[in-house]
Amino acid sequence: MDAGGVDRRETLHRSIVIWVGLFVLTVAALVSAVGILNRELFSASTFVRLYLEALAEHDVAGALATPGVALTSGDAAGTGEAALVTPDALGGLMGITEVSDTEIIPGRHRIVYSYTLTGTGDQQVEGQTEFDVVQTGTSWLVFPEWEFLRSPSARADVTVSHASTFTAGTVQVAAGDAGAFRANRSYDLLVPSLTVLGHTSHYLGAYPSKLVATSTGSSVSAIVDVQPTTRFLDEVQTTVHDFLAECATETLLYPPGCPFGLEVDDRIVTEPAWSIETFPALTIIAGQDSWVVPTASGSAHVRVDIRSLFDGTVTAIDRSIPYDVTFALSIRADGSIQFAPRG
């Protein structure tokens, strides 16, 4: 064989070796890239982190779209028993940190994340949740697809004392029929979450209470204890003050509908002149089915001349008359206060 043929063979051999080497390197690079992607973007822990980040961003739609996330009630987010599953009801979620990732069996992982839940004001709750995820298949033959084995959701039982509505974050929620004095209803929650409940209306308010859900499939509860505000008491006090003052303008021994009067057996010579000496100091408490003003005392004063039917003598009566008031209260749908006799 001539020298030219030998050179061509050697050149071809070197080219084959180079191309094989490049192919091997390319395959190795692809395998390495797939491994990195599986660890960083397509791992079970990343799957859970993406769900948690959706909650942290108040992306309720994104969280609900995560495979394996389902609400027990089946209601659409923001409606019915899913009324608390809305961006405006969710508290904050920060400090998301992976604690552990344990492969239970091939294709099934138990993953634990820690975090901090935040609410209005300075409310903070340190939490930790265990998630079970399972591989459901692959995409592009190499990237695993995951799903929550147990939906990261919970149930909440909310009781509203002395009202029918409450607030969750900035959302107004009806827990019962309008005007009801007590209401109770169950709701869905996403896990983890901190939902701050309260009540704010013209005459009523409630200190914040918390619904904290950190365990999948758990049940939590909260009571929203609605109480009268000073505005409510001031309005009632003013109304009763005006009512009693109006009673004092009557020139009768028993002003109609009023809590005081004077009983005499003789003839009246002059019209009775009433005045209020002491107005009652009122309080408002919760009754069985309405607000109640417990018995409060005051005193009226009356001046009147009477003539004895026995001997015709005239006597001037100048007397303090003690009286009591008590009644039930309800707040109408239009926001006005209804007074009623206390049963």
Rounded-to-integer distance, Cα 85 and Cα 69, Å: 12
> How much is the pTM?
0.82
Q: From the CB of residue 277, how many other CB atoms can be counted at a distance below 10 Å?
A: 12
HEC-encoded secondary structure of the chain: CCHHHHHHHHHHHHHHHHHHHHHHHHHHHHHHHHHHHHHHCCCHHHHHHHHHHHHHCCCHHHHHCCCCCCCCCCCCCCCHHHCCCCCCCCCEEEEEEEEEEEEEECCEEEEEEEEEEECCCCCEEEEEEEEEEEEEEEECCCEEEEEECCCCEEEEEEEEECCCEEEECCEEEECCCCCCCEEEEEEEEECCEEEEEEEECCCEEEEEEEEEECCCCCEEEEEEECEECHHHHHHHHHHHHHHHHHHCCCCCCCCCCCCCCCCCCCEECCCCEEEEEECCCCCCEECCCCEEEEEEEEEEEEEEEEECCCCCCEEEEEEEEEEEEEEEEEECCCCCEEEEECC
Q: Longest Cα pair distance anywhere in the chain, in angstroms? A: 167
Looking at residue 207, its pLDDT comes to 94
**Is 66 within 8 Å of 130 (Cβ atoms)?**
no
- Residues 207-249: tens digit of each pLDDT: 999 999 999 999 999 999 999 999 999 999 999 999 999 999 9
Looking at residue 34, its pLDDT comes to 39
Looking at residue 321, its pLDDT comes to 98
**Is 283 within 8 Å of 272 (Cβ atoms)?**
no
Q: Mean pLDDT per 10-residue run, the chain (343 residues)?
A: 56 57 46 42 91 97 98 96 97 97 96 95 90 88 87 98 96 92 97 96 95 96 97 97 98 96 94 98 96 98 94 94 97 91 81
Looking at residue 8, its pLDDT comes to 60
Looking at residue 21, its pLDDT comes to 52
Rounded-to-integer distance, Cα 317 and Cα 340, Å: 33
